[in-house]
Amino acid sequence: MSNYEIMILTKLESSEDKLKEIILTSLKLKDAKLVKLERNELAYPIKKQTRVNYYLLNVKADNSLIAELVRKLNINKSVLRYLIINLDTEKNMKPKKFQKFHKFNNRNQNSNRAHFDNKEHATNDGVKKPFVKKENGEAKTNVEAGEKKIVKRVVKKEEKVETKKITVKKDK
């Protein structure tokens, strides 16, 4: 026998006595403490109902009796929703183990990563110059070395499709 917590949502028109009778007969209990909760407004409508009755029940019962209760709650039209939680299995669940990750404030703190040199160097006046090319031991930038900027343009050409009519002559 396990401990169960049962939450039931019913229509406002339904009576508490009828629900209590269903619970007592299906769980084979002599007396059960069915607690009516105060909150009765729904966040969204369920079966065109915006206001419902909330009931909470804590029971110690067998699995087969709980299955019978579920069957009877599904048959009853006044019950909109129900939630049955096995407290024994919920409390004994082991928490999931999480991996511990290190937090790096700076990129250079991670020693496992490969280090690459920046291709642009900052100058004193705040303007970045392109990567320095070394020729004959002298450092020159690409612009100073006299290289031209090459701009490539891609022009899409329309493809012309030629169609030919083929006529087939039948022999008589």
Instruction: Give residue limits of the domains in the chain.
Output: 2-91
C-beta separation of 130 from 120 below 8 A: yes
Give the DSSP letter of residue 67: H
* pLDDT attached to residue 74: 94
Strands (DSSP E) contained in 16-146 are 34-37, 41-46, 49-61, 79-86, 121-122, 128-129, 132-135, 138-141
pLDDT tens, position by position, 96-114:
565 555 565 665 555 565 5
pLDDT tens, position by position, 17-32:
898 899 988 988 877 7
- Which has the higher per-residue pLDDT, 109 or 9? 9
Percent of the chain surpassing pLDDT 70? 52
Q: What is the CATH number of domain 2-91?
A: 3.30.70.60
* pLDDT attached to residue 39: 74
Of 79, 76, 75, 29, the C-alpha closest to 54 is 79
Which of the given ranges, 11-25, 85-99, 115-129, has the highest pLDDT on average?
A: 11-25
Instruction: Please give the Cα distance from 158 to 17 (Å, whole number).
Output: 80
Out of 13-22, 60-69, 99-108, 141-150, pick the least confident: 141-150
